[in-house]
Structure 1
Amino acid sequence: MKIERDGQTVFPVIVSNSSSLKSVNFFLLKEREMLYLIDAGMNDEACWNTLLHTLEVNNLSLSDLTGIILTHHHIDHVGLVDRIVSRHPIPVFVHKEAVPRLKREPAFLEKRADFFEKLYKEMGCGEAGEQQARFVREAIEKNKDNALQASLTPIEDDFLTSLSLRIIETPGHAPDQMALYDEKRGWLFGGDLLISHISSNALVEPDSSGNRMMTLVQHRNSMKKCLDLKMNIVFPGHGTLIENGESLIQNRLSRIDKKAGKFVSFIENGSATAAEIALRYYKNVYYDQFSLVMSEVIGHLDYLENRGHVAKIKVDGVWQYTIQP
């Protein structure tokens, strides 16, 4: 499969799986003598073999690659980087916020562990929060060998002009997420900004200084920013290619408002903390997918607070939410 328009060609590398994501997608982008890989899948044989096969059937090889561009730092977008670069040394371009995460810098990871320990206490999560905070801290040592060995180059605003692309900062799902936009062709390489069959999670994370970001507010703003773009095709990190980007964004924005409204009703009926709201809405999923659930709830409470619909006050170290008159 390839998509061609006005001298530029995209070769999608799509690896199907049985998870809720349905597939892991990354893309070869060819323009003139340049061939860039946008994202790099998982570090497994399925992604590796599919990449090699896609190159081969299009009369290309690893040695034709000019560089790798990563939309964000998550493991399912960066997996093959070291494997590729060890065979064919090429530059790897990333958002500057991705560097401490991809390099697993100990000082940053310790700050991140402190962040989650404090966050879950403040949100009233009790033992479930303490358990997750321990998991985050233990992962520093457990996953130290997962740091990328390849040299990383923070991307500059003018770097992609030679590829008819421009960078659009789209934080929310990840602090470092960026989309790559080709205005002439209406192509958007969106990472996990938009996925056709599921809503992308706005994952609660600290910034490089250890401060909490309003990630759902960011994610919503990132989607709204893309409404101003001509989007003929969105190339997503998972699922099918998207040809109805504008309507999908409107649907996602509507779903955020609907869920936020549900949380308002919970607060009106006595659920005062983020953990209480999470348990009431998600029930046992709160325990099974704790970090995802808390990101959803905290994100929507931030959104409501940002819009002036709720306020919070700290009582015995825990944030209590109330409805604003």
Structure 2
Amino acid sequence: MIISEDGLSVYPVKVPTKYNLRSFNFYLLEEAGSLTLIDAGIDSEECWECFMRTMNENGYTLHDLTRIIVTHNHEDHVGLINRISSIKEIPLYAHQESIHRLKRDKAFFLLRIEFFEQLYQEMGCGAAGEQQVQKLREAVRKNEKNRIQADIVTFADGDTIAGMQVIETPGHSSDHVVFLHEQKKWLFAGDHLISHISSNALVEPDRNGKRQLTLVEYVDSLKKCLQLDAEIVYPGHGEFIYNHKQLITKRLHRINEKAERILRLIRSGISTANQLAYAYYKDKYESQFSLVMSEIIGHLDYLETRHKVQKELKKGVWHYDVQPVKGEEGSYESNN
């Protein structure tokens, strides 16, 4: 499928996957002889072949590429960059917060291990947390080969690149951005908006090891995108989106709904993040531990910033309780 309007063309590259993501999507944008690759899929033979086929069928080679721009650092959005760069040296543009991850900065990834070790201890995760930290240690060694070799040019909120406005949308990742072509009302959204599933606001440290309130940031970013005038949203996975405001409203409602369910669990006497994760996601707790903990911790942060819950450190573990309404001892606020 090719989308063309007034000299601009979008060539989607969609690689099917059996996972719930449904597809890995990335895009070629052509305007006045300039060819921009927006994200770069996952590093697999199938993805590479699909990318090259899309290029060839539309009369392009790698030497026609002007630049690569990425929405965020995750491996399924930057996977082909090293292959492309080994054939042609092409400028790579990314957010400043992407660099230490794309370059596999060893000091940062060791700091990240320490961060999760402390986080899982403080959230009462016990052996499950220790097992996840061990997986992170193994991943640091295994993923060193994924270091992006190309030099990176940084962009920031409000910059213009390839005729599009850069809009910072942290939440799913700290470096996440979307690209808005204001004239055509096209929004290249990465993982910020996906039609068939909600985007995980993954709990992560910043460059200094401080925990980011990722779900709180994600909600703010959703509200920012609610104000954008976009007719077509090109996501990183799944189908194109033609009603992004309706989808955002649905996502915000779902976050509030989930927060209220967690609040009810806390009222029932469950007090630690690990206990809440097991109660809420019993079937997924072991198989998707890190995602489950991100969801629960993120929603606890969200509730805490809205003064719905408070926490107390007891023997090195955070315990959560419902926040009393000011001036009404024994009464609890529950309105969203």
Please give the TM-score of this superposition, normalised by the length of structure 2. 0.94
Cα distance, 1:142 vs. partner?
A: 2.3
Residue 141, structure 1, aligned to residue 130, structure 2: no
Match of 1:28 in 2: 28
Cα distance, 1:130 vs. partner?
A: 0.9
> Alignment length, in residue pairs?
324
Matches within 5 A, 1:6-25: 6-25=6-25
Cα distance, 1:73 vs. partner?
A: 0.6
SS in 1 for 2:285: helix
| Counterpart code for 1:164 | G
Q: 8 Å contact 2:93–2:153 — kept in the other structure?
A: yes
Matches within 5 A, 1:274-285: 274-285=273-284
Match of 1:84 in 2: 84
Match of 2:320 in 1: 321
SS in 1 for 2:93: strand
Cα distance, 1:147 vs. partner?
A: 1.1
Cα distance, 1:188 vs. partner?
A: 0.6
Q: What are the superposed Cα offsets for residues 16-51 of structure 1, whole Å, 9 maximum, x if unpaired?
A: 111100000000011112100000001111111111
Match of 2:332 in 1: none
In 1, the alpha carbon distance for the partners of 2:223 and 2:246 equals 11
| Counterpart code for 1:182 | H
Q: What are the superposed Cα offsets for residues 173-202 of structure 1, whole Å, 9 maximum, x if unpaired?
A: 011110001111111111100100000100
Residue 257, structure 1, aligned to residue 261, structure 2: no
SS in 2 for 1:223: helix
In 2, the alpha carbon distance for the partners of 1:49 and 1:241 equals 22
Residue 97, structure 1, aligned to residue 110, structure 2: no
Match of 2:197 in 1: 198
Residue 288, structure 1, aligned to residue 287, structure 2: yes
Residue 168, structure 1, aligned to residue 164, structure 2: no
Match of 1:238 in 2: 237
In 1, the alpha carbon distance for the partners of 2:156 and 2:277 equals 40
Match of 1:188 in 2: 187
User: What's the % identity of the aligned pairs?
Assistant: 51
SS in 1 for 2:203: coil
Match of 1:300 in 2: 299
Cα distance, 1:8 vs. partner?
A: 1.4
Q: What are the superposed Cα offsets for residues 225-254 of structure 1, whole Å, 9 maximum, x if unpaired?
A: 001011101100000011010000000000
In 2, the alpha carbon distance for the partners of 1:30 and 1:224 equals 30
SS in 2 for 1:213: coil
In 2, the alpha carbon distance for the partners of 1:90 and 1:280 equals 49
SS in 2 for 1:167: strand
Q: Give unpaired runs (5+ residues) of structure 1.
A: none
Q: Structure 1 pair 159/170, CA: closer, same or farther in 2 (3 Å)?
A: closer
Match of 2:52 in 1: 52
Q: What are the superposed Cα offsets for residues 200-234 of structure 1, whole Å, 9 maximum, x if unpaired?
A: 10000001111000101111111110010111011
SS in 2 for 1:143: helix
| Counterpart code for 1:74 | H
| Counterpart code for 2:306 | R
Match of 1:41 in 2: 41
Cα distance, 1:137 vs. partner?
A: 2.0
Q: Structure 1 pair 157/229, CA: closer, same or farther in 2 (3 Å)?
A: closer
In 1, the alpha carbon distance for the partners of 2:135 and 2:238 equals 29
Q: What are the superposed Cα offsets for residues 94-126 of structure 1, whole Å, 9 maximum, x if unpaired?
A: 111111101111100011110000000000011
4+ aligned runs moved over 4 Å, structure 1:
156-159
Matches within 5 A, 1:104-119: 104-119=104-119
Matches within 5 A, 1:215-226: 215-226=214-225
Range with bigger deviation, 148-157 or 178-187: 148-157
| Counterpart code for 2:86 | S
SS in 2 for 1:283: coil
Please give the TM-score of this superposition, normalised by the length of structure 1. 0.98
In 2, the alpha carbon distance for the partners of 1:198 and 1:185 equals 26
Cα distance, 1:144 vs. partner?
A: 1.4
| Counterpart code for 1:61 | T
Q: What are the superposed Cα offsets for residues 281-324 of structure 1, whole Å, 9 maximum, x if unpaired?
A: 11131111000000000000000001110011100010000101
Q: What are the superposed Cα offsets for residues 149-180 of structure 1, whole Å, 9 maximum, x if unpaired?
A: 1222222557535x321110011101111000
SS in 1 for 2:160: helix
When the two chains are superposed, the root-mean-square deviation of aligned CA atoms in Å is 1.1
In 2, the alpha carbon distance for the partners of 1:167 and 1:22 equals 26
In 2, the alpha carbon distance for the partners of 1:176 and 1:60 equals 30
Q: 8 Å contact 2:157–2:168 — kept in the other structure?
A: no
SS in 1 for 2:35: strand
Q: What are the superposed Cα offsets for residues 78-109 of structure 1, whole Å, 9 maximum, x if unpaired?
A: 00001001111111111111111011111000
Residue 5, structure 1, aligned to residue 5, structure 2: yes
Matches within 5 A, 1:143-162: 143-156=143-156, 160-161=160-161
